[in-house]
A and B are shown apart, each in its own frame.
Chain A
């Protein structure tokens, strides 16, 4: 249907133009900060969803990669005195290395074991950051301030935009995404048709870790102060989980929408109702639990399903009235049997 493709192109172009122009047009520092932070969470939510939504493994230690990136970048930037960009690259590299070292054994575990192992790993790394000298222990580390909000807005935009495009191409356009979905649906089955689940999972794990590490590095330079609880703390993973589940697992756009929605909500909540900050945790929890019970496909899943339903309904109505029906014309020389459509009998 060229019509919808055209519509989609317009929407994508409009969104890109909006994102590029936003930091230039906005004078308000608060909004610019919100913009940068929203992009950051979009990046974390979609990379979490790469593992959870596409492979079906719940990684409750995703924040570790964010923290590794933040700490590695900071240490190389302030203690080794490298310039920022090489330090950031080191941050991404360290996250990739961490994903390789952790993922290789842990990805052999399935279901709940994987969730527990990653969660335990996240907390162990936080303990480690609290006792080591190089990380500054509980005092954290400081970076030289670089007060240019537009710089960070564009760096974050470029980073998250690139991540989104790469993931979109790999997951929605390339066979890689189909292979991952095959693992999600039936891991033994995917092995039987000749895929290598162990290798694919590890690739996906590293693919989800590197952007998280880079985002962590930019975050550290932006905020200029990191400590174990702010970058390795549970809240990093928790929020990414909520955003992805709320937006819709197994898609890229869903978690992105969830992230923008949730962060906007959180920021205004904290800004205007700062006396009730602890209520935020309750809202977070209720949102996850209610989503799982009532909206298992998230907001995006609910919207698209509704649209599909409407489209199918319209199609069905027009079929009944015999308006648009164009029975497939069998090319000459082939069998004249028209394909028969079964209604809902696929499983039988």
Chain B
């Protein structure tokens, strides 16, 4: 059993990378716009399908299309955000809850449309990276690293570093942080709130869609995969503290490690339940996340 320990750790970190990509854009969107987007998994799914169709059409490697998928969905997000804005800023009662219901409806629409258009079958994105894997043996220990998963982890870290740079070292990032901190005050200081919100939402949708391409290559894609991914995005964001961006990587890796340890050392059937239990305990003991920094 102990010989599997390094493999469990590595698997957990690689899995954590996937969760990181799923949840980082989502956490940013929550931090700034204060909406829970039930459609996060659906954006990922749609991005994956766009990647699938582009690769089938051109025959190129799926990884070439990351920028294209990002661009397409950034535009889609740009035009979706005003609708959400309309719901949350309306004079009707309980705007936040209504926004929640709205994105819930959006998620159902996307899932239904995808099942209608793309069918119910499971596909896999073809990429050169999926063929390779590295293997080491050191005494009794052995470790396998699939190259495509490592690429996913690197992609996740690159996105995280990129977002951090954007937020900390650019004017746009300053504006985003100002809006996240106090919307009205930021508006009075001359920040264009509507534009900033749209930028954040389109960034989030673009990143999520790009993530879909990786998930399609690493695991698989089908039209009904959305809710499970949304669930993991929620887990990570609740663990990290809602809207607290620096907590997201730690929470993702923790979740990945929990899952891989359970998978290898305990009963695989109970893995998801273990994850649920952890989420539940965290919500009860410290609703603002592991670092008590959530909003």
Q: Do they bind each other?
A: yes
Q: Give A117 to B238 CA distance when docked, in angstroms.
A: 10
A281 touches B115 (CB 8 A): yes
B90 touches A296 (CB 8 A): yes
Which residue in chain A gives the minimum CB-CB distance to B228? A123
B283 touches A292 (CB 8 A): no
Say whether chain B's binding surface is mostly helix, strand, loop, or mixed.
helix
B284 touches A124 (CB 8 A): no
Expressed in whole angstroms, the minimum distance between the Cβ of A307 and any Cβ of chain B is: 19
Q: Does B234 contact A (CB under 8 A)?
A: yes
Q: Does A40 contact B (CB under 8 A)?
A: no
Interface bracket on B: 35 or more
In-complex Cβ contact of B109 among A123, A124, A282 (8 A)? A282
B242 touches A292 (CB 8 A): no
Q: Does A285 contact B (CB under 8 A)?
A: yes
Within 8 A of B (CB), among A273-297: 276, 278-293, 296-297
- Given known contacts A113-B287, A245-B101, is B276 in contact with A120 (CB within 8 Å)? yes
Within 8 A of B (CB), among A307-342: none
Q: Give A285 to B42 CA distance when docked, in angstroms.
A: 13
A284 touches B234 (CB 8 A): no
B276 touches A238 (CB 8 A): no
A284 touches B108 (CB 8 A): yes
Task: Report how many residues on chain A are interfacial, defined by Cβ distance under 8 Å.
Answer: 46
A279 touches B105 (CB 8 A): no
In-complex Cβ contact of B96 among A108, A109, A111, A291 (8 A)? A111
Which residue in chain B gives the minimum CB-CB distance to A283? B112
Q: Which residues does chain B contribute within 8 Å of A127, judged by CB atoms?
A: 272-273, 276
Which residue in chain B gives the minimum CB-CB distance to A131? B269
- Given known contacts A58-B97, A234-B227, is B108 in contact with A285 (CB within 8 Å)? yes
Expressed in whole angstroms, the minimum distance between the Cβ of B238 and any Cβ of chain A is: 6
Say whether chain A's binding surface is mostly helix, strand, loop, or mixed.
helix
Q: Does B263 contact A (CB under 8 A)?
A: no
Q: Does A143 contact B (CB under 8 A)?
A: no
A112 touches B36 (CB 8 A): yes
Contact with A along B100-126 (1 / 0, CB 8 A): 111011111111110110000000000
Q: Which residues does chain A contribute within 8 Å of B116, judged by CB atoms?
A: 276, 278-279, 282
Q: Does B169 contact A (CB under 8 A)?
A: no
B97 touches A56 (CB 8 A): yes
Q: Does A24 contact B (CB under 8 A)?
A: no
B238 touches A116 (CB 8 A): yes
Q: Does A105 contact B (CB under 8 A)?
A: yes
Contact with A along B78-112 (1 / 0, CB 8 A): 00000100110010111011111110111111111
Q: Give A315 to B197 CA distance when docked, in angstroms.
A: 45
Known contacts A124-B276, A281-B115; 14 further A-B pairs (Cβ under 8 A): A109-B287, A112-B96, A119-B231, A121-B280, A124-B272, A124-B273, A124-B277, A234-B227, A242-B105, A280-B112, A288-B101, A292-B102, A296-B90, A296-B92
- Can you list 27 pairs linking A and B with CB atoms under 8 Å apart? A109-B283, A112-B36, A115-B36, A115-B97, A116-B238, A120-B231, A120-B276, A121-B280, A123-B231, A128-B273, A234-B227, A279-B116, A281-B112, A282-B108, A282-B113, A283-B112, A284-B108, A285-B111, A285-B112, A288-B101, A292-B87, A292-B98, A293-B86, A293-B87, A296-B92, A296-B93, A296-B98
Closest 6 CB pairs of A and B: A281-B112, A288-B105, A285-B108, A285-B109, A289-B105, A282-B112
Q: Which residues on A are within 8 Å of B, measured CB to CB?
A: 52, 56, 58, 60, 105-106, 108-109, 111-113, 115-117, 119-121, 123-124, 127-128, 131, 234, 238, 241-242, 245, 276, 278-293, 296-297
